[in-house]
Structure 1
Amino acid sequence: MTEALRTDDLRFERLYKVPVARVFEIVTQPEHLADWWGPEGIARCEGHLDFTAKGPWDSTMINQDGARFKVSGQVTKLDPPNIVAFTWGWHDENDARGDESHVTIELTEEDGGTRFVMTHRGLSSKEAAEQHNRGWTSSLRKLDAAVNA
């Protein structure tokens, strides 16, 4: 039974016409994450961005003006090719990690393709949810292009 979303929780859903295993590769493997991770306008990412095993991850996204945005967490659940879940926390300019939230990506086979559902729970405020909604919406446009390439 799926837990109800709170007001500040986010849910994104897509239906892709490719197999679950292929979508799972794209959302977990470092070489594919680079194609879609971070909102549009991110020039590059640095760090240890790998969702193929439980444990720590981090990503510093660098925009076209050179501004850096660091986020990190732990991969907490991995059930290939259906689920990857991880914690999420932004770092400030002194590299102190802020409030922690939780992201879960669930993939299921549907109509010969893949239903992609991502939830981001436990965001600290309505403003944080709005900012993450914009960021994830932009990133998922890049994911759509990567999956459909």
Structure 2
Amino acid sequence: MPDLDLTRHIPAPPDRVFHAITDPAQLLRWWGPEGVTIRDEQLDFRQTGPWTSTMVSPEGKRFKVSGQITHVTPGSSVGFTWAWHDEDDQRGHETHVTIAVEPSPEGGTTLTLHHRDLADEAAAANHNDGWTSSLNKLEKLFST
């Protein structure tokens, strides 16, 4: 099963970036690819437990995803399971995501996202597109 690894440099201190990743109000500002809106969310990555999010495309198509927050290392990393739901609201193939932040030697923060155990290469490509778009939005939070 393929894995996805993405790394970004963000021009802000790690504590601010980690806050944007875990705090519900900040998370909603960048969660999901560009152009989607978030509905029916339970997004609070400050502690372990369940999470859920429904992304709505500009055309109105709904994409529900959910999982369990498996670990939170304050100021450093958060991990969670991830599974898309089908039309009958049944969870599909479960994968695991870890987002870690650390001080960058150039200043700012190095953010690393690992998405493990994707079903196939097509799923890896789709998640690469989605995460890349989401991380673009996260970066923009710190570029203004």
State the one-letter code of the partner of 2:83: G
TM-score normalised by the chain length of structure 2? 0.94
Q: 2:62 — aligned with what?
A: 68
Local SS of the residue matching 1:117: strand
The CA RMSD measured in Å over matched residues stands at: 1.2
Gaps in structure 1 of 5+ consecutive residues: 1-5
What is the CA-CA distance between 1:147 and the residue it aligns to?
2.7
Matched residues in 1 for 2:5 and 2:44: separation? 22
Local SS of the residue matching 2:133: helix
Matched residues in 2 for 1:130 and 1:16: separation? 23
State the one-letter code of the partner of 2:101: L
Q: 2:109 — aligned with what?
A: 114
Q: Which runs of 4+ in 1 moved over 2 A?
A: 43-46
TM-score normalised by the chain length of structure 1? 0.91
Alignment of 1:11-22 (within 5 A): 11-22=5-16
What is the CA-CA distance between 1:44 and the residue it aligns to?
3.1
Residue 104 (str. 1) matches residue 98 (str. 2): yes
1:36–1:143: 8 Å Cα contact kept in structure 2? yes
Gaps in structure 2 of 5+ consecutive residues: none
What is the CA-CA distance between 1:110 and the residue it aligns to?
1.8
